Amino acid sequence: MPWCPVCKSEYVEGKTHCPDCDVDLVDELPQDQPEKEEIPTLTEEERADILARRAAASQTRTYTSAREKQSENRSSAWTFLIVGGIGLLVITLALLGIVKLPLNTFSLAVMEVIFVIFLIIAAQSFRKVMRLMDDIAREDTLDEKVRSWMRENLTREELLADVDADTTEELQYFIVSEQIRRQLMLQFPEIDDAYAEEMTENYYNELFS
């Protein structure tokens, strides 16, 4: 059966022209070809802007995880406890006349107060270590939630969609990292910039290292 290539109408045998479209009929309609999706490309201005913002972000990133804070506080607590305990013991023995030090009684008393302060600081640091346990649990839960979302929604292929084949590794890092960070902040608006930068860095290394 002949067909009109414009309106797609079917005609009886013998017809050779479509009066409505004023075109000749064809024996078969051409198969529709799917339109090729165009991949957006970045302009030089956009690339320069991304480079500037990513460089600034990498310089100002100050994120410290709750686990790192706990480790730092634990280390400080033990340092103050050991130094304060030993110092207090030595000064007390000196005040009792058991240990001889080239210091007068007033100087020994001042030093004893200082070492007592060290012990107080150690106690406060240990309390902070215990309080950080809750923060670590909440942070671990958030980390797992964010990582799961990124693995499900930010694939390597999608992130490289608008990166040219001849793009340098450094520029690719800035472009892809900016995409990850932007989408992460949109999905989790409650997280701060420093945390988003840290998760972005970790996920980029997971995908491309």
Q: What percentage of the chain carries pLDDT values higher than 70?
A: 83
Place 26 in a pLDDT band, splitting at 50, 70 and 90.
confident
pLDDT of residue 50: 61
pLDDT of residue 37: 41
Which of residues 105 and 171 earns the better pLDDT score?
105
Alpha carbons 180 and 174: distance in angstroms, whole number: 10
Beta bridge partners of 209: none
The lowest-confidence range among 32-41, 110-119, 151-160, 185-194 is 32-41
For the segment 156-169, the average pLDDT, to the nearest whole number, is: 83
Alpha carbons 209 and 195: distance in angstroms, whole number: 21
pLDDT of residue 36: 40
For the segment 47-68, the average pLDDT, to the nearest whole number, is: 67
Q: Using the 8-state DSSP alphabet, how is residue 18 labeled? A: E
Alpha carbons 117 and 121: distance in angstroms, whole number: 6
Quick: pLDDT tens for 120-161: 999 999 999 999 999 999 999 999 999 999 999 998 888 888
Quick: pLDDT tens for 60-106: 557 888 899 999 999 999 999 999 999 999 999 998 989 888 889 99
Alpha carbons 107 and 112: distance in angstroms, whole number: 9
Task: Identify the top-confidence range among 7-21, 29-43, 83-97, 149-163.
Answer: 83-97
pTM for the structure as a whole = 0.56
pLDDT of residue 172: 86
Q: Using the 8-state DSSP alphabet, how is residue 77 labeled? A: H
User: 18 — phi, psi (to 5°)?
Assistant: -95, 115
Alpha carbons 109 and 103: distance in angstroms, whole number: 10
Q: Is 13's pLDDT higher than 70?
A: yes
